[in-house]
Amino acid sequence: MDCVRIVTEFTESEISALVHPEWFEAFPWLLQGTTTRGSAGAPPFDFGLFGETSRPREARERWSTLQQRLGARGVVYSQQVHGADVCEYEEHSSGISGLELVDPCDGHVTSTPGLLLAVTAADCVPVFVIDPERRAVAVLHAGWRGAAAGVIESGVKKMASAFASRAEDLRLHMGPAICGTCYEVGPEVFAALREPVPDRPAPIDLRHVLAEHAVRLGVSRAAVTISAHCTICTESGLFSHRKGHRERQVGYIGVLD
Ligand SMILES: [Zn+2]
């Protein structure tokens, strides 16, 4: 079986983000990246607004810094619940400016220029989806629970219903996340993902599992890539929940105005 291609994002230092090099070259209308913890000595570039993460006021200021640096009119973000709900913002999207906290869900789609879609993560996978034909984009938050709940399927279906995107036109990137060597899980996780179940805890490569979900839906294998960056072992300046970090990085995507 062919493997899904691994891609090493480059560091965009102005934004402090890891950016897909091929998409950056091929799609000048696209904004895409995953933030990192930022420069040494500076406060961590933390975007967590929910749960045990950092102070909300400082985090909100960071959201607005990110929005300004990227030149976006508005940013859509939600509390994430490890489910498979994906939302679109076409009808009322012109009214969004600044940080818009929408109802809890784990994915967002849009084709509206100037609107940035965001998920936060710290080991979970930020999944980026683009339809270059229709200039439509999505970002999904996928831990193992979301993967088991079918968040990839939901995202692809939402792209189809919202923009008539065909699976064969989509490109997907499994962004910086915990890698298949570092992520050891119990047999119940393999069972939930309908993978062969080991009899003791074992490592699982969640990004490969997610990539296979996309391929099964009709996305071309050549159109799927996986980030070489790991939140634990590649020293990429990323936050890791398993390492004890409370902070969160942001995976963002949007269509330029
Ligand atoms: Zn790793």
231 C-alpha to center of ligand 1: Å? 6
Reference 217, options 135, 158, 145; nearest CA is: 158
182 C-alpha to center of ligand 1: Å? 4
Residue 53: per-residue pLDDT: 62
237 C-alpha to center of ligand 1: Å? 13
Residue 1: per-residue pLDDT: 53
Extents of the domains making up the chain:
5-255
DSSP 54: S
Residue 91: per-residue pLDDT: 61
Contact 140, 152 (CB under 8 A): yes
pTM of the model: 0.96
Q: What is the mean pLDDT of residues 232-239?
A: 96
CA atoms within 13 A on the CB side of 102: 22
Q: What is the mean pLDDT of residues 112-127?
A: 96
Q: What is the mean pLDDT of residues 91-110?
A: 87
42 C-alpha to center of ligand 1: Å? 25
pLDDT over 90 at 96, yes or no: no
Confidence of residue 97 (pLDDT cuts 50, 70, 90): confident
25 C-alpha to center of ligand 1: Å? 27
229 C-alpha to center of ligand 1: Å? 8
132 C-alpha to center of ligand 1: Å? 31
> What does the alpha-carbon distance between residue 170 and residue 213 come to, in Å, rounded to a whole number?
13
pLDDT over 90 at 8, yes or no: yes
> What does the alpha-carbon distance between residue 11 and residue 235 come to, in Å, rounded to a whole number?
13
Residue 222: per-residue pLDDT: 97
Confidence of residue 252 (pLDDT cuts 50, 70, 90): very high
Residue 92: per-residue pLDDT: 65
Cα angle, residue 222 at apex, residues 127 and 24 outer, rounded to 5°? 60
241 C-alpha to center of ligand 1: Å? 13
Residue for token pair 């930020």: 126
Tokens of 208: 């490969």
Contact 229, 6 (CB under 8 A): no
Reference 120, options 17, 247, 24; nearest CA is: 247
List the beta bridge partners of residue 226: 6, 174
206 C-alpha to center of ligand 1: Å? 12
Summarised one tens digit per residue, pLDDT across range 185-218 is: 999 999 999 999 999 999 999 999 999 999 999 9
Summarised one tens digit per residue, pLDDT across range 13-68 is: 888 999 999 999 999 999 999 999 988 888 889 998 887 666 788 889 999 999 99
72 C-alpha to center of ligand 1: Å? 32
Q: What is the mean pLDDT of residues 167-186?
A: 98
Q: What is the mean pLDDT of residues 8-15?
A: 93
Residue 40: per-residue pLDDT: 80
Residue 90: per-residue pLDDT: 72
Q: Which amino acid is at 10?
A: F
123 C-alpha to center of ligand 1: Å? 10
- H-run or E-run covering 23: helix 21-26
Cα angle, residue 234 at apex, residues 121 and 3 outer, rounded to 5°? 85
Residue 247: per-residue pLDDT: 92
pLDDT over 60 at 116, yes or no: yes
**Is CATH 3.40.190.10 the right assignment for the domain spanning 5-255?**
no
